[in-house]
Chains A and B, each alone.
Chain A
């Protein structure tokens, strides 16, 4: 009986991993690091995490999770509330619509798709931020941040891939 409860708990925890790891990415992305300019140039690790899980386990990362993760990000980062929520929802939609494309594709193709989606997300963020709060970003900053986000994808993807293989292969 107790064993069954634990087994169920274990299973639930594993199934929550995609969302939990993305929430962790939100927290880590706002913790102050003693690196100059970091908070301005930091790659969008939340987008990387969300993208990875929506591509590989869309069943464990539904749209409402993308919405809530985005809201948390907005609340902590001080961005207009709803900005990242909206952008993550759009990213979710873009991936789910093209789900057949992602199935069983080689890593570099998924990375290329990520680059496209990250670019789209950055442009969407800039447009919504301007429309909602007249916030604008210098182009150099915008481009650097996007490049870093795309560059960091393989590293975070590898870690999340390992997490997926370890805990979510049978699920």
Chain B
């Protein structure tokens, strides 16, 4: 029994020294990663998305029961006011039928005018709808992870939508997961216009719930309640995607409340309007592609 004791005594200082060196090395590695990340080295992004890809199935599995439970609670709550809801929907339906008629008329008129002018029609859009598997961010970033990646045809820069409006754009892509940078993130800058006046501006996230309108074209006077839509400038977003509504004007800048509810993102639609031949729905193929 004495022997292990003596070896312990002999190796203890060595062990402490090794531990100190390892600790310093790890601190150095963290700082190194931060520096590389600041320089926007592609290796950092790749490393991050490799980790996300590996963990995505687990996140998906953990999230599903929570989703189901939330939906059940929602359903139960809706039972309570099903009559009221029904009445509201009937009214809305009437109103929408009217709009449908308006849209048909406009469509016919539009087609006739295009025919007259021989305007090339826009290429058909394709969508990939994906579940939100991580709503991370904490206090520093506004982004979510979705369960679709390059193998589903997702590419960096594609716009991300929910039925209410624009959510953001694809920031990083992995094979089976991607990160969507929300409109509210500090690094989000989207070219927009005021719907009525067509005044151009940029909508800048600042990590608050209401992004700012900057670079307003001179003479523009945005009013409370003005609708903001994408302008299509820069070619990242198609024009006309609904973004939000002006809720603050004046000395402290113009702020916009996005139409999309960032606190209840369940599924996000990624729009591919440039590349043809992507899958219409995020159907997970049986085996992940490997190699290179």
Q: How far is the CA of A85 from the CA of B196 in the complex (A)?
A: 48
- Which parts of A112-162 form the interface with B (CB within 8 Å)? 128-129, 132-133, 135, 137-138, 141-142, 145
Contact A78 B63 (CB under 8 A): no
Contacts of A82 in B (CB 8 A): 29-34, 37
B138 within 8 A of A: yes
Q: How far is the CA of A135 from the CA of B138 in the complex (A)?
A: 12
- Which parts of A79-100 form the interface with B (CB within 8 Å)? 79-83, 85-86, 89, 93
Q: How far is the CA of A28 from the CA of B140 in the complex (A)?
A: 18
Total A-B residue contacts, Cβ distance less than 8 Å: 143
User: Mask for A28-41, Cβ within 8 A of B = 1, else 0?
Assistant: 11111111111110
Q: How far is the CA of A141 from the CA of B141 in the complex (A)?
A: 13
Contact B55 A27 (CB under 8 A): yes
Q: How far is the CB of B261 from chain A (nearest CB, A)?
A: 9
Contact A78 B55 (CB under 8 A): no
Contacts of A64 in B (CB 8 A): 22, 26
User: Size of chain A's interface in residues, with CB distance under 8 A?
Assistant: 46
Q: How far is the CA of A79 from the CA of B52 in the complex (A)?
A: 13
A70 within 8 A of B: yes
User: Size of chain B's interface in residues, with CB distance under 8 A?
Assistant: 48
Partner of A89, one of B26, B55, B62, B132: B26
Stretch at the interface among B43-51, B122-130, B241-249: B43-51
Contact A93 B23 (CB under 8 A): yes
Partner of A81, one of B44, B134, B263: B44
B94 within 8 A of A: no
Contact B62 A67 (CB under 8 A): no
Contact A31 B26 (CB under 8 A): no
Q: How far is the CB of A139 from chain B (nearest CB, A)?
A: 11
Known contacts A30-B136, A34-B264, A76-B51, A135 near B141 by CB under 8 Å: yes
Contact B34 A79 (CB under 8 A): no
A7 within 8 A of B: no
Contacts of B141 in A (CB 8 A): 77-79, 135
Contact B138 A42 (CB under 8 A): yes
Contact B22 A63 (CB under 8 A): yes
Q: How far is the CA of A86 from the CA of B27 in the complex (A)?
A: 6
Contact B59 A30 (CB under 8 A): yes
Q: How far is the CA of A138 from the CA of B140 in the complex (A)?
A: 10
Q: How far is the CA of A76 from the CA of B55 in the complex (A)?
A: 9
Q: Which residue of A lies closest to B141 (CB)?
A: A78
Contacts of A30 in B (CB 8 A): 59, 134-136, 145
Partner of A135, one of B31, B47, B179, B186: B186
Contacts of B55 in A (CB 8 A): 27, 72, 75-76
Q: How far is the CB of A48 from chain B (nearest CB, A)?
A: 14
Known: A32-B66, A89-B23. 17 other contacts (CB 8 A): A31-B59, A40-B137, A44-B138, A63-B22, A64-B26, A75-B48, A76-B145, A78-B136, A79-B138, A82-B30, A82-B32, A82-B34, A85-B26, A86-B30, A89-B26, A89-B30, A128-B34
Instruction: Write 12 A-B pairs (CB below 8 A) sorted by A numbering.
Output: A27-B55, A32-B133, A32-B135, A34-B70, A39-B138, A63-B22, A67-B30, A77-B141, A86-B31, A89-B30, A129-B140, A142-B139
